[in-house]
Amino acid sequence: MAITIQNDTGLITLATCNTEYQMKTDEYGVLLHTYYGAKIYGSDMSETISCRERGFSGNLTVGREEIRSYSLDVLPQEYSCAGSGDYRISGLSVLDSNGGRSCTLRVAGTRTEKGKYSLEGLPHVYDENGEAESLVITMKDPYSALEAELQYSVFEKSDIITRSVRFINNGSEAIQLEKAASLCLDWQFGDYDWLTFYGCHAQERNLQRVPLHHGVQSIGSTRGNSSHHYNPFSILAEKNTDENSGLCFAFSFVYSGEFLMEIEKDQVSQTRLVLGIHPANFSWKLEPGMSFQAPEVILSCSSEGFGKLSRNMHKIIRDNVCRGEWKYKQRPVLINNWEATYFSFDAQKLISIAEESSKLGIEMLVMDDGWFGKREDDYSGLGDWYPNEKKLGCSLKELGEEINKRGMKFGIWFEPESISEDSDLYRSHPEWAVAVPGRDPVLSRNQLVLDISRTDVQDYIIDRMSDVLSNAPISYVKWDMNRSICEKYSASLSADKQGEFAHRFMLGLYRILEELENTFPHVLFEGCSGGGGRFDAGMMYYTPQIWCSDNTDAINRLNIQYGTSFGYPVSTVGAHVSAVPNHQTGRVTPFATRGAVAMSGTFGYELDITKLTDAEKEQIRRQIQRFHKYYELIQRGDYYRLTSPKDPCVIWSFVAPDKNSALITAVSREITANSAPVHFNVPGLDDRRLYNAVFVLPEADDRPLKVIEKISGAALKNGGLTIPVVQWWEYEAWQVEITAAD
């Protein structure tokens, strides 16, 4: 069984195939966290907890008697509370009706369930195959009417545990939740590094690895969404951990809004990590008889390094977070007109792009910003989701049909959460824009944010988008959000509930997406927020792919996609080939290299195909054929990082789940004169099987330039491969195709 409860000792164990997670109720009803790591086969690790008096740490009192050797300030706990005598960062902060801020949670009961718990109105890991087992631990505050249900699900074969918390007010007076984290996790021992993924617009998810120091370190977002700046995913790792060895832990927040991830090394060198909704703009009035559901966190542990940890996360997101018709269905290779035309296009221009694209094997044309309302630039039109037939020269239905006649699917861009002041919608409903009364609003990209915490605004968006999607042959929606939210205020909320705005905004977004996807199940929705500003597991529940970054420069993308790969599968990564010089960096890279990098994603094009040379068009034809050939391997294979973007040559591979084949891509990031050979090992294949390895230089018409026959998987893993000694230019790409020889 994945979950075992020893009622006589209070020990609870959550077991996956390679790890165990353990907690124990002590004699005072406190739920202690005793272990998370590699398998220990049910041994009770509470024996490692040392109780002793600590100066200036509050002590437990029982019947007004102080227990000097017992302090919550140093004990490892499963879910900590502020005002309980624990001075470290905590998971829960409560404001009572009398103004008090103390809270104490004690175990009141446990229950197990087959299957996975679900979270109403929130994205979450789901269980289609009956793999999961769930645990609910009921915690009560003996001094108030607050109850907390700690929720756990275990995916034994996947080495995954999920956690969440539900808060219930069983009293007759309101309780104010000031902080309601989804996860609190303690480690008594260990010296760790913390891996986080920082960035900015067009430079998302840069890996940062820093040692934990005494004190509090944190990442988070108060920008209204998860942001380009800090991703809601991190890794805690022992000092010696690398790609293939060492103990490490992953934490992924299944939420797209504001978050705070804190980690503290305390007075006795213990480590605590707390993750949840950012408390800076959060305060939830929990009315009598009501409940509040915190979002979910995905946890995984690996004693085999970052590679195994990433593959655990890839699989659970690909198989148990992404949903719908497009979860596994082969997605079309698309071309987006944004970098080709920006706002300057009409139907004839789009049809000319479609005609040329269809000849080369591209399967979908996506019409980006500028097709609706009075939208000739980014100063106007957002919110007026009515096709501009005068600009297009035809109806949206007619345009879609013309695209379809060319053998192409038709996709369309929306930015439903934003509104322009110069729009009919704003003139009709200025109160629908997010703004603080009496203050000039903060603009960004010349636009305001729609208050989708309101059901009337949600209904408007659902109605307008449904009308557009129902009246034209649209197969794809690019869902964009091009600004952060500054003012956290809703005209529909009372003063004592303004702290609920940011979370209600996200609940509104999730409701809109859920209803539209239920109504239009055949439409492929791609997420976007200025590229990667909302690249998180929460959005992947609704959009199985997300535009990874607005930065389409192939060399910059090496770093962006490398960082992304630690927590998210390639099948979620929107990646396109764009024109050169690149419109963001001015860099010129070979067409084949741009294709090789974009191929490690959902794959498409972002350029004016009518302006390409015949040689470039032929490369597109070959790239698409190659992508189709390896589609399943790329989208569902096991991903391995073989080098990093700090290395002169960046190398990664996909290995088929059955270990029959692999595809390796190498991109020269930096060349020096008289450089050393590029050599790399190839893990993941069957040690005892024999394979053939074919080296291909995509720039050279995909002709095999070197073939190695009947080399064992063990030789590939331990001995490795060397890129052939030919002229090796900067920014050039190689690929190696490996297939079973037997």
pLDDT in tens, 480-523: 999 999 999 999 999 999 999 999 999 999 999 999 999 999 99
Indicate whether 726 pLDDT > 70: no
Which of these, 290, 250, 296, lies nearest to 158 by C-alpha position?
Answer: 250
**This model's pTM is above 0.95:** yes
Which tops the pLDDT comparison, 729 or 208?
208
Indicate whether 246 pLDDT > 80: yes
* Percent of the chain topping pLDDT 90: 92
Backbone angles phi, psi at 489, to 5 degrees: -150, 140
Cα dihedral: 276, 281, 287, 292 (round 10): -20
Domains of the chain (ranges, CATH numbers): 3-320 (2.70.98.60), 334-636 (3.20.20.70), 640-740 (2.60.40.1180)
* Percent of the chain topping pLDDT 70: 99
Active site residues: 536, 616
Residue showing tokens 């591209």: 362
Indicate whether 700 pLDDT > 60: yes
SS3 state at 650: strand
Indicate whether 98 pLDDT > 90: no
pLDDT band at 449 (very low <50, low <70, confident <90, very high): very high
Looking at residue 63, its pLDDT comes to 73
Buried b (16+ CB within 10 A) or exposed e, 44-72: bbbeeeeeeebeebbbbeeeeeeeeebbb
Which tops the pLDDT comparison, 191 or 97?
191
d(CA 206, CA 186): 26
pLDDT band at 62 (very low <50, low <70, confident <90, very high): confident
| Average pLDDT of span 526-552 | 98
d(CA 43, CA 31): 17
Which of these, 441, 525, 429, 527, lies nearest to 482 by C-alpha position?
Answer: 527
Looking at residue 727, its pLDDT comes to 61
